Structure 1
Amino acid sequence: MFAKFVTWLKSLFYKKELQACLIGLQNAGKTTLTNALCNDPDRDNTIPTIGFNVREVTKGKVNLHLWDLGGQNKFRNLWERYCNDAQCIVYVVDASDKDKLSEAKDELFKLVEMDTLVGKPLLVLGNKNDIDGALKEDQLQKMLDLEQIQNREVCIYSISAKNLTNIDNVIKWMTKYGK
């Protein structure tokens, strides 16, 4: 009982911190998503990320540190380094680009099989659901074989970072991992 009271008292004065890595192939919409999470009104005007971007935003009592990592092939070897310090991994997939799904799946499985990232919660986002023909959650889950990923929480949402569709669920999922 006393421990619950202390926890409640701390929650009045202290914020939680969360480091999250937003990764995925180039042009998946990671920067647009980062800008949407940060309430950036200019979220649509993005250029390819070279290396990484770091943004910080407070949602409720959680201070989010968002690492938007470049998706070009030459930057993918850096993903593990940044994800190692994160509390969760957000993997963004362009759900409208079926030609890149096989590559997206391969990169996702390379990532989740890394020893240093075992157990890290994973949120897979099928972005660009505002585009005709974009895969739905269940289709994307099947195409990416997400049921094969073990020993961690895996969640999937269909979103549109451009139109802010389902962004509230992304925030809820991420903030539960704040420390």
Structure 2
Amino acid sequence: MIGLQNAGKTSLLRVLAGQEFTVDSIPTVGFNMKRLQKGHVTLKCWDLGGQPRFRSMWERYCRNVNAIVYIVDAADKEAVPVAAEELHALLEKPALKGIPLLVLGNKSDLSGKLSVDELIDAMDLKAFKGRETSCYGISAKEETNLDAVLQWLINRKNK
């Protein structure tokens, strides 16, 4: 799970792991790893820091994974162009060719957030050729659409 700082990566991972949502999450320094057990499937999830100094590490952790989950704060319209730029730069790396991509517009519970279609356009997701790309609107806080996220991840693990 990657994305800019304050997009909600750690909060999402906590909620997916069955823990409480907390408003005052501490910024991730480096990375966290959690194993999520969903039925007979174990998902090993890396939550990488989103501050500029950690972004150079993203490629290393994204190699040889079943899927890249890129989380965007859909309510922070000023951050979206930077999020798009970082994602496009990352996916140009030859080592990440063909890895499925799931872009999650988090904070869908907030007013003024981008819709999924607006996020697809703003992130220029249609530019990614030769890789499966999906985009969902979610809310880690309200637990909106998280079942669909888990199902998507489980389906990629079983391919």
TM-score by length of 1: 0.86
- What is the Cα deviation at residue 55 of structure 1? 0.6
For residue 88 of structure 2, what is the amino acid of its counterpart? F
Give the letter for the 1:87 counterpart: N
Amino acid at match of 1:90: V
The correspondence for 1:145, drawn from 101, 120, 124, is 124
Deviations 1:156-177 (A, max 9, x none): 0000011100000000000112
Report matched runs for 1:30-69 at 5 Å: 30-69=9-48
Kept in 2: contact 1:36–1:43 (CA 8 A): no
**1:114 is the counterpart of 2:93:** yes
Residue identity in the other structure for 1:172: Q
CA contact (8 A) 2:11 2:21 kept: no
Partner of 2:151: 172
What is the alpha-carbon distance in structure 2 between the residues aligned to residue 30 and residue 115 of structure 1? 25
- Which one of the candidate residues 24, 33, 43 is aligned to 2:3? 24
Aligned residue number for residue 79 of structure 1: 58
How big is the shift at 1:43? Answer: 4.3
State the partner residue of 2:102.
123
Q: Which amino acid aligns with 2:128?
A: I
Structure label with greater radius of gyration: 1
In 2: Cα distance, 1:177 partner to 1:149 partner: 18
Displacement of 1:57 in angstroms is 1.4
C-alpha distance in structure 1 between counterparts of 2:73 and 2:33, whole Å: 21
CA contact (8 A) 1:90 1:123 kept: yes
Structure 2 distance, partners of 1:36, 1:71, is 19
Percent of residue pairs bearing the same amino acid type: 48
Give the secondary-structure state (helix, strand or coil) at the position aligned to 1:46.
Answer: coil
Deviations along 1:44-85, whole A, 9 cap, x unmatched? 442100000001111122101110000000000100000003
Say how many residue pairs are matched: 158
Residues 24-50 of structure 1 deviation map (CA, whole Å, 9 limit, x = unaligned): 000000001101110112544421000
Asked whether 1:96 is paired with 2:92, we answer no
